[in-house]
Amino acid sequence: MAHHGEHHYNLEQRFDFTAATKKSIMTVLVIGAILLGIGIVLAMTGGGHEEAGEAGGHAFHWYERLYANLWINNVFFTGIAIVGVFFFAIQFAAQAGWSAPLIRVMLSFGNWLPIAAVLMIGTFFLANHDLFHWTHSYLFDKNDPQYDSIIDGKGAFFYWPMEKGTFPVFYVARMIIFFGFWVFFFNKFKKISDQEDQLGGTSHWFKMRSWAAYFLVFFAVSSSISAWDWVMSIDTHWFSTLFGWYVFASWFVSGLSAITLLTIFLKGRGYLEMINQNHIHDLGKFVFGFSIFWTYLWFSQFLLIYYANIPEETVYFVERLTSDVYGPFIFVNIGLNFFLPFLVLMTRDAKRHGIFLKLVCSILLVGHWIDFFLMVQPGTLGHNGGIGFMEVGMFLVYGSAVALVVLSGLAKKNLIAKNHPMLVESYNHHI
């Protein structure tokens, strides 16, 4: 089936995960591990700015910073993995033709999900008391001087059907259900895609479309609730009604950036020759457009809280803006995630050239990591946080581990869905 009219593309191509590429990624992993090690030693010996005494009413321990970093990277990279599957499903729900040669690239990010599930659930059991204020049983004991009626009111959301302050059954069950279904849908999509390669015809495309619709409904609910559970519940008193959207937007821009970088990387290696500047332009438009969408949600959340000026809402921004540790990063966050992509990708040419997209997408991945850093650290570490060796090292370790897992998954199957009914439409894609 390699000949469609005048096009002679190799539809049997496979990504060869060479020893040299593996070595490069392993080098980054080792550098990250060394930096992480230095960061841990500094934290244990009180180097950097970890000497502070009381954080949130208890003595601060160095490992709390390690746990917070685990949590930031778990949430961030889980998001990138699930967005790969989400964007894949969107192509089928929208009956998109332009992206036909790219769908395997998108789906490959889902390979991280099973590992993400183990890391996320493991970190929660290891570190729940150090990350989540609501896990302390005294908050629910009316006779305890530290009893908190607000958190007690929210307790059922975490602990039902058990007694509040015991084991967060409902919370852990949600985490397991979300990961379970995400991995199930990822495997289902992979399976249908493999069958299409072997058998051809259009029936698999229709089957994929209905499964994609089921997934998208589940994703809409689960991505929002996971944002409340994994990120918003850190600041237990505070809440924002658009927080699920906000975390999704941050995830989506990060995921789109990762998909774009992987596509450009594969093209640079001589794969995906049917992908031309028009396809790259489309990816650039997604990155550009959703960076603005992220900013719109960031600003909506900020502005409403700012002009209503209700103390229990403003506390979230006050403790970040007035902090010596986090204050500057608020502006770094907006600079990297809005002003830079907005100004650099504004022109048509910038969205069609790999060099601009490589630069912007790499910066966006760092920028959105900083976004999650600002969501997690202030509520877990208070003034004991910051970005040091530990943060940079952990980011590099996670990033290279994800790269290894995603590229290994990609190398196992054909790179292109050769019997996709819309490949010809994709070859002729022109904007």
Residue 392 maps to a domain: yes
Phi first, then psi: what are they for 270, rounded to 5°? 95, 5
Quick one: average pLDDT of 39-43? Answer: 96
Share of the chain above pLDDT 70, in %: 96
CB 102 within 8 A of CB 403: no
Residue 148 domain-assigned (yes or no): no
Q: What is the mean pLDDT of the chain?
A: 95
Task: Decide if pLDDT at 233 tops 60.
Answer: yes
pLDDT of 159-209, one tens digit each? Answer: 999 999 999 999 999 999 999 999 999 999 999 999 999 999 999 999 999
Q: How many alpha carbons fall within 13 Å on the CB side of residue 211? A: 20
Residue 46 confidence (pLDDT): 81
Residue 149 in any domain: the answer is: no
Confidence band, pLDDT 50/70/90 cuts, at residue 51: very low
The pLDDT assigned to 239 comes to: 94
pLDDT at 6: 60
- Domain membership of residue 215 (yes or no) is yes
pLDDT at 52 over 50: no
Does pLDDT of 223 surpass 80?
Answer: yes
Evaluate whether residue 144 is within a structural domain. no
Residue 29 in domain: no
| pLDDT (0 to 100) of residue 57 | 54
SS3 87: helix
Burial 132-147 (b: 16+ CB within 10 A, else e): bbbbbeebbeeeeeee
Segments forming the whole domain that contains residue 248: 40-47+58-132+168-427
Please report the pLDDT score of residue 373 as a whole number. 98
Confidence of residue 220 (pLDDT cuts 50, 70, 90): very high
H helices of 135-202, in order, are: 149-159, 169-199
> 6 in a domain, yes or no?
no
Q: What is the pLDDT of residue 431?
A: 86
Which pLDDT belongs to residue 119? Answer: 98
> Could you read off the pLDDT of 411-420 as tens digits, one per residue?
999 999 999 9
pLDDT band at 8 (very low <50, low <70, confident <90, very high): confident
CA-wise closest residue to 111 among 396, 371, 361, 413: 413
- Residues 343-369 have a mean pLDDT of 97
- In the chain, the number of structural domains is 1
Residues 351-358: what's their mean pLDDT?
95
The C-alpha atoms of residue 431 and residue 422 are separated, in whole angstroms, by: 17
With DSSP H G I counted as helix, E B as strand and the rest as coil, what are the percentages for the chain, rounded to 5? 75, 0, 25
Higher pLDDT, 51 or 401: 401
199 belongs to a structural domain: yes
pTM of the model: 0.96
